[in-house]
Structures are given as C-alpha cells and as structure tokens.
Structure 1
Amino acid sequence: MTQQDRDLTALIGSRICHDLISPLGAIGNGVELLQLSGMADSPEMALIAESVTNANLRIRYFRVAFGAANDDQMIAENEIHAVLAPGVDGRKIEVNWQPNGNQPRGAVKLAFLILQCFETAMPWGGRIDVRNDGEHWQIRGQADKLKLDAELWNLLTARRGDIDVPPAQVHFALIAPELERQNRTAGVTLSEHSISVEF
C-alpha cells in the first residue's frame, strides 16, 4: 500500500463517518423529543434510543481510528473520554485512559486502532490500561480468557501481504502502515492472560 493509498483510505474513513454522524444525530434528537412528549415510554423506543447512542459512540470512535490524522492536530481529553465511555451496550471491557490533557491525533489514532485489536482478543471482557510517557505509549490488557491469533498480532510489527485479513479484523492490517507514516515502531508481548503493546 503506497502513501497515497493510505491517505485515501483515511480520507474515505473520515468522509463515511462525517456523513453518518448527522443523520444519527437527527434520529437521536427525534427520540429525545418523543421522550419529552411522553410518547416514547415503551421498550421499543428504549431500544431505539440505546441503539442510536451506541452507534454515535462507535462512529465517533471510528472517525478517530480510521479517519485522517494530520500530524499537527490535537484531540481533546474530554472527547477521548467521551468516546471511550462504556455507553449503554453493557460492554464488558473497561478502558482506563491515563494520559492527561489533549493528545496528538496521530498517536490517538494508533492507540484506538490497537484498542480495537484488544477488543477482538477480549470477547469475554477484560481491562485495558493506556499510558504514555512523552512520545512513548504503552497499552496493556488483562483478561481471564483471551482469544489470540498470533498471525494477526504479528501484523503490528511486520507488514505482510500474504495474510488474507477479513473485514472484521482490518484494524490489525492498518497499524503497521500508520506506524511507518509516523516513523514509529511497535513491540507486542502476548501471554495467556495479558497483552502489551508499546509504540
């Protein structure tokens, strides 16, 4: 994948997320108006409201993870925490985001892509701690049970074109090119109950 291909992929991600945020917001506003009028007191309407909330959180997350990230852009700390909030979907993974203050969008993009890899490996739940020390980032996850695919995790440290990555795991394939774009490298440590990624 060339630099131009990577840039286009990120721009496509940004465009799709941008175009979906407005209609989802409109649906959410409509649900709120129905709730205020007393017409939305039903399990069906509660399900719609919950689904809209979850979709909004995921779209905002995807916008950071898959969208364009200029090297001089920053992302606000409150936006990061809002996007990583558990939401109403009963998500079993707790993300402890420790970096203080606004952060470079490129670094957060990498962190969010890597967090998706952790989510893939933790279908039964777990805890993830995100730390940074200046330019150095560490993401560590722990769980009673992990679902690990070593070939996919190897993609974080070595670009390979001979692995057919399914759409549900595309985040694994996007990390090495983004690391290269940012002149970074990653280290990955896998064990029975923990995963650690540093970049």
Structure 2
Amino acid sequence: MTISPVDFASLLCSRLCHDLLSPVGALNNGLELLADETDPAMRDRCLELLNDSARASANKLKFFRLAFGAGGGFGDQVDTREAQVAIEGLLGDNKRLELQWLVEEPAFPKTAIKVLLNLAMIAGDALVRGGTLAIGGEDNGGVIEIVLKAEGPRVILDDELRLALIAGADGREVTPRSAAAYLVHSLAAETGGSVQVSAPADNVLLFGATLHAR
C-alpha cells in the first residue's frame, strides 16, 4: 500500500489536533472558570491550572515543530541539545517517567533528529505506568545509530505501531495513531536504513534505527 503526501499530511494533522486537544481544552475551561470565580484562592488555583495548560501546549507545539515540521532551521544538521529539550518538554511532566539522555554527538542530520524524536514519543507512550526511557545515538562513520530502551512495570506497544515501524504501510492502512511510526520507517528507509523493535516482553522494550547520513 502506498499513501500520498497529501493524505499523510492529513493524518499527521489529525494526530497533532488529537494531542493538542487536551491542553488547549483545559485552557478554555480554565478561562471559563476564572471568569465566574470570585474566591481569591480559587482564582489562584485557576491561574495555576491555566499556566500548566499553557506550558504543556507550548511544549507540545515545540516538539511537533521539530519532529514533524521544519524546526531546527534550514541547515542539514540540528543540535542534539535542541532534541533533548524538546523531549524533556514533551515527557518531563510525567513524574513517573525518568529520562536518560545518552547522546554525546553535538549534532545529527535533520532526518535522524526526526526519527529520534518520534521514537522517543512512541516509547514514552508505551510506558503506560511510567518507568525509565534511555535514549542513545551516535555517528559511526556516516551511519547514524539510534537506540532507545523503555523499561517499566508495564510496557505496551500496539501491533499497529510495531508493524508500521518495521514495515511501513506494507498493505495496511496508515491511521493518525500510526502516522508517527510510519514516518520513522519512511525516513529511515529513504536513507537506506532500517528500524528494529524488540520482541514483546513484560517490562522492557528496545527500539533501534540506522540511517545513512546524507
């Protein structure tokens, strides 16, 4: 199965809207409560919730801009610290999740940064009860190797995402839910690389991707 660029862009937009609906909706609800609230303590609480929702919305937008859009400028290389900040912004509010950043390279090609970010988002979602997400990557003579290890009390990766990561569309329908996984596979394949996912296990899941720098 092939998917047109326009259809894929629509799927990504659907995914973005879905992920932004919660924090933006919370902003709207908070403003409505604030307009009717007269108690000073409750108004302070409403303002605190509005601040949290605004920060979450901004962090998601920054992440999506780098993971899906033209974030990182117009150069071929992107500072890996920018990717680290984006991941911490997206997942940092999850108090049950510990992030371990093991990337020492100062920069990666844009394609590799997008693969790393999307794998981090998928791996973070797989840690449904929290845990540890270790993220590593290095450039071995022009071959970018990215590895993520998700470990926690319950790790779940839907078959739809697993198959999209490994094989892309391959006769299956791409949905907004699997759009990021399909993007990872497509970006790696375009460089002559590949994506690997470990076999299902109770408490650990490994993701790997190799890309040839261009």
Q: Please give the TM-score of this superposition, normalised by the length of structure 2.
A: 0.68
Equivalent in the alignment of 1:75: 78
Matched, 1:194 2:204: yes
Where does the alignment leave 5 or more consecutive residues of structure 1 unmatched?
28-38
Give yes or no for contact 1:128–1:139 (8 Å, CA) kept in 2: yes
Q: 2:61 aligns with which of 55, 59, 62?
A: 59
Check whether the contact 2:124–2:150 (CA below 8 A) recurs between aligned residues: no
SS for the counterpart of 1:60 is helix
Contact 1:71–1:106 (CA<8 Å) still a contact in 2? no
Match of 1:5 in 2: 5
C-alpha distance in 2, partners of 1:156/1:9?
A: 18
CA distance in 1, matches of 2:196, 2:135: 15
Q: Shift of residue 73 of structure 1?
A: 2.1
* Deviation (angstroms), 1:92: 2.9
- Identify which of 132, 135, 139 aligns with 1:130: 135
Q: What does residue 150 of structure 2 align with?
A: 141
For structure 2, the residue ranges without an aligned partner over 5 or more in a row are 28-39, 210-214
Within-5 A mapping of 1:160-179: 160-179=169-188
**Residues 169 and 93 from structure 1, CA distance in 2 versus in 1: closer, same or farther, beyond 3 angstroms?**
farther
Q: Shift in Å at residue 53 of structure 1?
A: 0.8
- Classify 1:154/1:74 alpha carbon distance in 2 versus 1 (closer, same or farther; 3 Å): same
Mapping for residues 28-47 of structure 1, pairs under 5 Å: 42-47=44-49
Quote how far apart the aligned CAs of 1:182 are: 2.4
Distance 2:165 2:92 in 1: 31
Q: Percent identity?
A: 18
**Aligned match for 1:180, one of 189, 194, 197:** 189
Task: Name the residue aligned to 2:52.
Answer: 50
Segment drifting more, 145-154 vs 52-61? 145-154
Counterpart of 1:158 in structure 2 is 167
Q: Is the 8 A contact 1:71 1:104 kept in 2?
A: no
What is the RMSD computed on CA atoms of the aligned residues?
Answer: 3.4
Conserved 8 A contact 1:140-1:197: yes
Give the TM-score taking structure 1 as reference length: 0.72
- CA pair 62-68 structure 1, distance change in 2 beyond 3 A: same
